[in-house]
Amino acid sequence: MIKNDTIKASLKATKEKRKNQTCRVYELKIDQSHLNSESKKHLHGLFIEAKWLYNHILSQDNVFELDFDDKIQEVPVKVKDVFELRPLNYLSSHMKQSLIQRTQDNIRGLHELKENGHKVGKLQYKSLVHSIPLKQYGNTYKILDKNHVRVQGIKQKIKVRGLKQIPAGADFANGTLICKHGDYYLSVTTYQTKKEIVIPEGQVGVDFGLAKQLTLTNGIAIKYSISITPKLRRLCRQLSKQEEHSKNWYKTIIKLNKEYDRINNIKKDIKNKIVSHLKDNNGTVCFQDENVKAWQRIWGRKILSTSIGGIISTLKKKVHTPIEINRMYPSTKTCSDCGNIQDMTLDQRVYICKKCGKVKDRDHNSSNCILNEGLRQVGTVRTELTPVEIESSTLMSLRYLNSIPYVKASSVYESGSLTALA
pLDDT at 280: 92
pLDDT at 68: 53
Q: Please name the residues in contact with 390: beta carbons below 8 A apart, sequence gap of 6 or more.
A: 218
pLDDT band, very low/low/confident/very high, at 420 (cuts 50, 70, 90): very low
pLDDT at 70: 57
pLDDT at position 158 over 70: yes
Q: Measure the CA–CA gap between 51 and 58, rounded to whole angstroms.
A: 11
Q: Measure the CA–CA gap between 370 and 206, rounded to whole angstroms.
A: 7
pLDDT at 417: 47
DSSP 197-245: P-----EEEEEE-SSSSEEETTSEEEE---PPPHHHHHHHHHHHTSPTT
**CA 304 and chain centroid, separation:** 16
Q: Which residue has the higher pLDDT, 301 or 124?
A: 124
Question: For residues 143 and 149, is the Cβ–Cβ distance under 8 A?
Answer: yes
What confidence tens digit (pLDDT) does each residue in 379-401 have?
A: 888 888 777 777 888 899 999 99
Supply the mean pLDDT for the chain.
Answer: 89
SS3 60: coil
Q: Please name the residues in contact with 225: beta carbons below 8 A apart, sequence gap of 6 or more.
A: 213, 302, 305, 306, 406
Q: Please name the residues in contact with 166: beta carbons below 8 A apart, sequence gap of 6 or more.
A: 26, 188, 190
Q: Measure the CA–CA gap between 278 and 220, rounded to whole angstroms.
A: 12
Average pLDDT over residues 244-258: 93
Average pLDDT over residues 334-352: 88
DSSP 271-296: HHHHHHHHHHH-SEEEEE---HHHHH
Report the percent of the chain where pLDDT is more than 90: 65
Query: Which range is least confidently modeled, 246-250, 320-324, 356-360?
Result: 356-360
Q: Measure the CA–CA gap between 67 and 22, rounded to whole angstroms.
A: 34
Average pLDDT over residues 158-171: 92
What confidence tens digit (pLDDT) does each residue in 93-128 have?
A: 999 999 999 999 999 999 999 999 999 988 999 999
Average pLDDT over residues 225-239: 94
Helices (H), 305-381: 308-318, 362-378
